[in-house]
């Protein structure tokens, strides 16, 4: 797999309730939180995996859209 393809992948998160939390986690030797967002119902957030972001954590009722499909969470 081409590492550059993974690094440039995007996801979209659409909140299905108020207070959905999105947390970006760092790459490297130690995984750390580096960015947090709060969404209200109906809001959308688009995130990109980069050299700094290796994972994205989502809390609450939301739908995550990826190039591989959708993932409903918190239902």
- Structural domains in the chain, CATH included, are 3-68 (2.60.40.50)
Q: Which of 35, 32, 10, 13 is closest to 23 using CA atoms?
A: 35
Q: Which of 59, 70, 20 is closest to 41 using CA atoms?
A: 20
pLDDT at 40 over 90: yes
Q: How far is CA 26 from CA 14, 41, 48, 49, 72, in A?
A: 22, 27, 12, 10, 24
Helix H segments across 3-60?
3-7
What order do you get walking across the sheet with 69-73 strand by strand? 44-48, 10-15, 62-66, 69-73
pLDDT tens sequence across 45-67: 998 887 777 888 999 999 999 99
Which pLDDT band, with edges at 50, 70 and 90, does 22 fall under? very high
pLDDT at 7: 61
50 or 20, greater pLDDT: 20
Whole-prediction pTM value? 0.80
């Amino acid at each position: 797999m081409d590492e550059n393809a993974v690094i440039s992948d995007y996801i979209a998160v659409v909140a299905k309730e108020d207070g959905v939390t999105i947390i970006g986690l760092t790459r490297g030797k130690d995984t750390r939180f580096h960015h947090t967002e709060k969404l209200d119902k109906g809001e959308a957030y688009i995130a990109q995996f980069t050299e700094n972001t290796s994972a994205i954590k989502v809390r609450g009722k939301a739908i995550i859209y990826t190039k591989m499909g959708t993932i409903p969470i918190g239902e």
